[in-house]
Homo-oligomer: A and B are copies of this chain.
Amino acid sequence: HVYVGGGYRSSLTWSLKAAEEAEAVAAISCSGHGRAFLDGPVSDDGQPVCECYGCYTGNDCSHLSKGCAADADSGDPIYLEPFWMQNAADTTVVISGWHRMSYDYADHNMMSIELENFIRKLHSIAGNAITKGRYMVFGVGSSQLLNAAVYALSSTPSKVLASTPFYPVYKDQTMFFNSESFQFEGDTNSWKSNNSTNNMDVIEFVTSPNNPDGELRQSILKGKTIYDHAYFWPQFTPIPGPSDQDLMLFSLSKLTGHAGTRFGWAIIKDRDVYEKVLKYIYLADMGISKDTQLRVLKILKVAIKQDTKLFFDFAYDKMRDRWDRLTSIFSKSTRFSIQKRHPLHCNFFHQTRLPSPAYAWVKCEREEDDDCASLLKSERILGQSGSIFGAKDRYTRLSLIKSQDDFELLLQRLSELVSREYDSIKTI
């Protein structure tokens, strides 16, 4: 392009129109409480309109709905959106109308080798997983790989286990697919105490750090194990060292916040297991979107700018700040408690630090408060009941990775709730 008095004269041809459209949509003001998107709803005259987040409404999302509940229910990882807005120029993707129409890349593979190489580099920088000499398979989120891994490990029939409290999708998927090859058997510890130590027909899910409580976990049965490492990144936990398990799953959603992109990957030691996971992905849907793979490549290129560690610094600062503020509120409460966090040395940040999990695992301490989620809901705070995770309803999961608006409202409501403990004391 040519420099013309104060600006560039671009030599763009076919991409100009789309780029201008994208910038025009991004420039629509939604008061910081919403976004307009290219594929969103349009007004009567065909113009994109704001989609407001959480409790905000109005044409420009400037109106806060009074009495709207603080929604800490879902694991929607919007907390990183500001980072990607700050790094817009490096993370934009332009896809031509004829981009990768084929089922395959040029090497007759359904996965991008370039992307695979970047993921290996990312693990090497984050120091959270050994990938050398390991196989890799991409999936539609790690969600798809959970089930692919169960299929790959199952002999007929295998029992699938997970330790309470656990991510409910393990159970839901296994029951829904209703395969002759496996069935869900519930909590690992209960099963162990009632059964022999012959673990040959058992598949154990180990979520580390755990969803909902953030604990770093190890296999209990030491047999066939699926390590769900969705949250094993420096923003959520100290990284004591690289994981070197037989089958490890990771997810873009919790790493960079791009949940909508649906991208996850498995790292696998054994060739036979690898081939079975690959076959699952091939048969289920002939590989995953090439558009998605292109976008993930661009996003990860920015995430691994090694000189600055910009990305992990941003993400960890955000999570640490949220935990500092949350802890300060719960420290004033005797009615509600949150999980204990244990300091560990983090090889990534080269310091001993506390974990800063994606979720607060709240316990209602009073004997009569045995349905914690309902109690919080009556205070206009939405979380997920303990029983969803196989735990008691005395526990509730609150998401800490949603947008800043959502988090601020959550803190405000929690603050009010805890401060009322003192009011009642004063009343007495």
Residues of chain A having any CB pair with chain B under 8 Å: 1, 4, 7-23, 26, 35, 37-42, 51-52, 74, 76-78, 80-81, 84-85, 87-106, 112-115, 139-141, 143-144, 147, 151, 156, 169, 172-173, 176-181, 253, 257-263, 279-280, 283-295, 297-299, 302
Contacts and interface: CB of A to CB of B under 8 A. Distances in A.
A41 to B, nearest CB: 7
Contacts of A9: 4, 7-10
A180 B288 CA distance: 27
A248 B178 CA distance: 24
A89 to B, nearest CB: 5
A390 to B, nearest CB: 17
A111 to B, nearest CB: 11
B41 A100 contact: no
Contacts of A299: 97
B115 A102 contact: no
Contacts of A293: 39
A292 B294 contact: no
How many copies of this chain? Answer: 2
B286 A289 contact: no
Given A102-B78, A178-B179, A289-B140, A94 B92 contact: yes
A160 to B, nearest CB: 14
Contacts of A89: 13-18
Contacts of A103: 74, 76, 253, 259-260
Contact of A38 (B262, B289, B294): B294
A44 B170 CA distance: 44
B88 A37 contact: no
Contact of A287 (B40, B81, B262): B262
Contacts of A80: 101
Given A101-B257, A101-B258, A14 B144 contact: no
B102 A176 contact: no
Given A39-B115, A284-B143, A291 B261 contact: yes
B17 A12 contact: no
A90 B295 CA distance: 20
Most buried by B among A94, A105, A141: A94
Contacts of A52: 106
Nearest to A139: B285
A324 to B, nearest CB: 24
22 contacts: A11-B20, A12-B19, A18-B92, A18-B94, A18-B298, A19-B92, A22-B96, A35-B98, A81-B101, A85-B97, A88-B97, A88-B98, A90-B97, A92-B94, A93-B94, A97-B302, A101-B261, A143-B286, A144-B285, A156-B178, A176-B283, A262-B285
